[in-house]
Amino acid sequence: MSNPAFAPKEYRVYFLFAGIVLLGMKYMEFGPVANWSWLAVLSPFALAAAWWAWADATGYTKKKAMQKMDKRKQDRLDKQREALGLNGKSRRK
């Protein structure tokens, strides 16, 4: 399995957060969730697992990790060029 730090967090977090909230509501028998089936309450966890499986199987996770590393590398190079005065502008007058 790939590094979860590079997984697309926006979907993963939403599914897990929804699952935790629904699980707590079901356990405490709070609101309409108390009458829902356990299958419906636990479905966000299954969606999060499906998202992880899809992201790893299609290479989406690795692609995002590579994009993040490339951006860091480019930012670092730009910062170094700026510090050296090599920001692409001609120094001749």
10-26 pLDDT, tens digit each: 666 889 999 999 999 99
Contact between 11 and 67 under an 8 Å Cβ cutoff? The reply is no
**For the chain, domain boundaries:** 4-65
**Residue whose pair of structure tokens reads 């079901």 in the numeric block:** 26
Mean pLDDT of the chain: 83
pTM of the predicted protein model: 0.58
pLDDT digits (tens, 9 = 90+) for 19-60: 999 999 999 999 999 999 999 999 999 998 998 888 888 887
